[in-house]
């Protein structure tokens, strides 16, 4: 409150002192040199205007988009016009002699005094940048200066007084209209404070008053009243000073007040941010403690892991857990030997110590270490988190290998047990069925004997014979399967004409094939093709394949047997028109106890060992058998190496027993019911 009172008292002294000083100067100089007084006032007003401009330029960065800043910048144009006016005064001239130039300068200044306020109001409302505002002020000032001077000096009227009268009145009307526009605009403006409005209204009111008085004086060029001129200059000074006071208050004092408030706010913000910073520092301390605790827990956790873990940071070991230290102690005698190794050097070093070293897949390797006849297997995997950090994990898989071996053995035992179960199931079925049939037939024979029914006895005799052959076939299959599994079956390998062997077997099955109206075709490339094989085993395999062709073939269908050869190999092909075997069944068709999943009928019985035995017998003779299935049937291909330049010994066939082959056919076809 005291500071405001001092400022107000100083302003009152200034407002009273300067006008009184001017009056004294005028009284002193009235009859001598009025030009000095005029120059003095113009210089004083120009100084005020320059001060306004300087304050605005110095402060506009602190107070953006302030009305008084725009006004101060606009006064730079007015100062330049006033400076031109002052410089036009020459020594020795009287006031009346410079009036012709003073008149247009006065009008230009009047235009600019109102136009600066109008443009400043617009700039403040639209928040125009200060640089753009300065450009517009100067553009308007130059336009008005040049235009008014040209209009004034180049009018066509030759009467100076009349020309001045017309020129002054027209411009004064425009100026008065601008005054009304400014007055109304200030009153209706909502973004200007009441204090600001007060200073601007005082300024434009004083301006319009001194301009009106000056207008009346200039229109009477022949009768100049110096007392009126004195009043005009005093009013002009007061107008400029009132605007100077407003700008001082709102730019200088207001800026300092704002800076003070900003400093207070900054102090509050500093305390606030200091409090936040302190809380964050406390939080950081707590987090650091938690991180240290977590780090300790993670170290304990990682050290408790049985796998060896090494972390390389910038190609140097930055962490190694307890398991890794123990492992390195075991394989290389301690950690010190590898502590200076880089990442890839460590991998190479482990490889150099390994008795076996195998890359399983990307970033995973398998190696073994033999220390004092103690062989341990390890998996080494690497993972690079980025270009700087890589992790090495070494896992002891020795026990895992043992577990895998035990698991494999267990699975083998389970599979063998399942095979045994299936074996006993098949034995039970394959033995019980023909025995039951034989037993039933014998019971019927007792009745037929009492009835003396010879036909019934004969029919039952055939039934008993067929089931006895079936029992013989089943028992032979089981015995051969056991021999093959144990490796006790040894083939009697000799060189035979495979064409004769296969043809004899095929011809011996005609009786059964004809009963189902099936056609058997036999075709060969050559009449004599020699193969080293076991005659008994070949006959058994061919009989099994032909019986399967009849068993699963179509009534009225065909069986095609062919033998082809080249210089090195012989191929025996048996093709039938049975239903196509699926790919899934082809995977296990040669396994033990496998049966094609057809619906049961009277023609299709068996233990499921036939194809298993056939394949095993062919492989015993160093041959191979394959199945190819088509839409129209199935084909079995048997392949043997060809024996060249062999002279057949016909003595081997002298004792060939045709009845023995016939018995084999009856046994093989015993499970096919007619």
Q: What is the pLDDT of residues 510-553, one digit of tens each?
A: 888 888 888 888 998 888 889 999 988 888 888 888 888 888 88
Among 23-37, 61-75, 303-317, the range scoring the smallest mean pLDDT is 23-37
For the stretch 188-227, pLDDT in tens is: 777 777 777 787 788 778 778 777 777 666 655 555 566 6
| pLDDT at residue 609, rounded to an integer | 75
| pLDDT at residue 196, rounded to an integer | 74
Give the fold, CATH level 3, of 308-396: TATA-Binding Protein (3.30.310)
Average pLDDT rounded to a whole number, residues 347-354? 74
| pLDDT at residue 64, rounded to an integer | 56
Q: Looking at the predicted structure, is the pLDDT value of residue 598 above 50?
A: no
Burial class (CB in 10 A: 0-12, 13-18, 19+), 169: exposed
51 or 563, greater pLDDT = 563
Q: Looking at the predicted structure, is the pLDDT value of residue 24 above 50?
A: no
Q: Looking at the predicted structure, is the pLDDT value of residue 17 above 50?
A: no
Cβ atoms < 10 Å from Cβ of 48: 22
| pLDDT at residue 290, rounded to an integer | 83
Top-ranked range on mean pLDDT: pick from 532-536, 580-584, 597-601: 532-536
| pLDDT at residue 225, rounded to an integer | 61
- pTM for this predicted structure: 0.42
For the stretch 73-124, pLDDT in tens is: 887 888 888 777 777 665 555 555 555 666 677 778 778 878 888 888 888 8
503's CB contacts (< 8 A; 6+ apart) are 522, 524
Burial class (CB in 10 A: 0-12, 13-18, 19+), 431: middle
Closest CA to 472 of 666, 673, 674, 672: 666
656 or 307, greater pLDDT = 307
- pLDDT confidence bin for 434, thresholds 50/70/90: confident
Look up the CATH number of domain 490-668. 3.30.565.10
- Distance between CA atoms of 589 and 578, rounded to whole angstroms? 15
Average pLDDT in the chain? 75
Q: Measuring CA to CA, how many Å separate 239 from each of 67, 146, 259, 357, 589?
A: 17, 26, 29, 102, 120
- pLDDT confidence bin for 6, thresholds 50/70/90: very low
For the stretch 455-489, pLDDT in tens is: 877 887 877 877 787 777 777 777 777 777 777 78
Q: Looking at the predicted structure, is the pLDDT value of residue 399 above 50?
A: yes
Residue-wise over 64-90: b if at least 16 C-beta within 10 A, else e?
ebbbbbbbbbbbbbbbbbbeebeeebe
Average pLDDT rounded to a whole number, residues 375-404? 80
Coil, strand or helix: which one is 396?
Answer: strand
| pLDDT at residue 603, rounded to an integer | 41
| pLDDT at residue 484, rounded to an integer | 76
Q: Looking at the predicted structure, is the pLDDT value of residue 664 above 80?
A: no
Look up the CATH number of domain 2-255. 1.20.1070
Length of the chain: 674
| pLDDT at residue 309, rounded to an integer | 81
3-state secondary structure 22-38: HHHHHHHHCCCCHHHHH
Closest CA to 199 of 46, 79, 41, 52: 52
CA torsion 14-17-22-25 (nearest 10°) is -140
454's CB contacts (< 8 A; 6+ apart) are 448
253 or 118, greater pLDDT = 118
Q: Measuring CA to CA, how many Å separate 633 from each of 133, 191, 487, 580?
A: 101, 102, 34, 5
Q: Looking at the predicted structure, is the pLDDT value of residue 657 above 60?
A: no
Q: Looking at the predicted structure, is the pLDDT value of residue 647 above 70?
A: no
| pLDDT at residue 118, rounded to an integer | 84
Top-ranked range on mean pLDDT: pick from 28-42, 324-338, 648-662: 324-338
Top-ranked range on mean pLDDT: pick from 156-165, 248-257, 507-516: 507-516
DSSP state of 573: E
Q: Looking at the predicted structure, is the pLDDT value of residue 556 above 50?
A: yes
| pLDDT at residue 65, rounded to an integer | 66
| pLDDT at residue 467, rounded to an integer | 79
663's CB contacts (< 8 A; 6+ apart) are none
- pLDDT confidence bin for 16, thresholds 50/70/90: very low
Q: ∠ CA 236-239-245 to the nearest 5 degrees?
A: 140
Query: Residue 633 in contact with residue 497, Cβ under 8 Å?
Result: no
Among residues of the chain, what percentage have pLDDT more than 70? 75
CA torsion 104-109-112-116 (nearest 10°) is 180
Query: Residue 127 in contact with residue 67, Cβ under 8 Å?
Result: no
């Amino acid at each position: 409150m005291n500071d405001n009172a001092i400022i107000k008292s100083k302003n009152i002294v200034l407002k009273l002192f300067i006008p009184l000083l001017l009056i004294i100067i005028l009284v002193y100089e009235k009859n001598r040199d009025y030009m000095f007084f005029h120059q003095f006032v113009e210089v004083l007003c120009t100084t005020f205007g320059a001060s306004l401009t300087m304050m605005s330029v110095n402060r506009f960065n602190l107070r953006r988009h302030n009305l008084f800043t725009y006004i101060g910048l606009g006064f730079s144009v007015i100062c330049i016009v006033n400076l031109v006016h002052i410089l036009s005064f020459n020594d020795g001239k009287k006031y009346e002699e410079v009036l012709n130039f003073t008149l247009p300068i006065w009008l230009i200044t009047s235009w600019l005094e109102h136009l600066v306020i109008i443009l400043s109001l617009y700039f403040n409302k639209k928040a125009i940048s200060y640089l753009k505002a300065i450009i517009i002020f100067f553009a308007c000032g130059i336009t008005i200066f040049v235009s008014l001077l040209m209009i004034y000096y180049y009018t066509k009227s030759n009467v100076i007084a009349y020309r001045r009268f017309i020129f002054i009145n027209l411009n004064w009307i425009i100026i008065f209209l601008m005054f009304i526009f400014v007055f109304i605009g200030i009153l209706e403006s909502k973004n200007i404070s009441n204090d600001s409005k007060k200073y601007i209204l005082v300024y434009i009111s004083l301006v319009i008053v001194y301009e009106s008085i000056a207008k009346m004086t200039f229109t009477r060029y022949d009768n100049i009243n110096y007392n009126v001129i004195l009043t005009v200059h005093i009013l002009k000074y007061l107008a400029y000073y009132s605007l100077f006071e407003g700008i001082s208050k709102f730019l200088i004092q207001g800026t300092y007040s704002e800076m003070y408030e900003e400093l207070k706010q900054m102090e509050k913000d500093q305390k606030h941010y200091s409090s936040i910073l302190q809380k964050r520092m406390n939080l950081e301390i707590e987090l650091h403690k938690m991180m240290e605790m977590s780090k300790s827990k993670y170290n304990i956790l990682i050290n408790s892991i049985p796998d060896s873990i090494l972390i390389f940071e910038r190609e140097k070991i930055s962490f190694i857990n307890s398991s890794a230290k123990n492992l390195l102690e075991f394989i290389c005698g301690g950690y010190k030997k590898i502590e200076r190794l880089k990442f890839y050097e460590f991998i190479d070093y482990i490889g150099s110590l390994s008795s076996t070293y195998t890359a399983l897949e990307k970033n995973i390797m398998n190696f073994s270490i033999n220390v004092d006849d103690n062989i341990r297997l390890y998996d080494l995997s690497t993972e690079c988190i980025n270009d700087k950090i890589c992790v090495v994990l070494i896992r002891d898989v020795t026990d895992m290998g043992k577990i895998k071996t035990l698991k494999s053995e267990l699975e083998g035992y389970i599979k063998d047990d399942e095979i045994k179960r299936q074996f006993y199931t098949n034995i039970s079925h394959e033995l019980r069925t023909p025995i039951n049939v034989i037993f039933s037939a014998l019971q019927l024979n007792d009745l037929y004997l009492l009835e003396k029914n010879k036909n019934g006895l004969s029919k039952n005799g055939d039934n008993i014979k067929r089931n006895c052959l079936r029992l013989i076939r089943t028992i032979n299959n089981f015995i051969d399967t056991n021999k093959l599994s144990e490796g006790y079956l040894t083939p009697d390998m000799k060189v035979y004409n495979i064409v004769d062997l296969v043809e004899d077997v095929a011809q011996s099955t005609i009786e059964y094939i004809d009963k189902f109206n099936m056609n058997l075709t036999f075709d060969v490339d050559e009449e004599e093709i020699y193969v080293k094989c076991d005659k008994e085993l070949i006959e058994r395999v061919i009989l099994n394949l032909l019986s399967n062709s009849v068993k699963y073939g179509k009534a009225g269908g065909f069986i095609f047997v062919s033998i082809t050869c080249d210089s090195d190999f012989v191929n025996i092909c048996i093709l039938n028109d049975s239903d196509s075997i699926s790919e899934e069944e082809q995977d296990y068709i040669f396994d033990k106890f496998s049966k094609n999943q057809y619906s049961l009928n009277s023609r299709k019985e068996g233990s499921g060992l036939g194809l298993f035995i056939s394949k095993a017998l062919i492989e015993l003779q160093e041959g191979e058998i394959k199945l190819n299935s088509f839409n129209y049937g199935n084909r079995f291909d048997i392949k043997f190496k060809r024996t060249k330049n062999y002279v057949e010994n016909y003595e081997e066939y002298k004792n060939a027993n045709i009845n023995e082959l016939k018995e084999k056919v009856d046994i093989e076809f015993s499970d096919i019911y007619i």
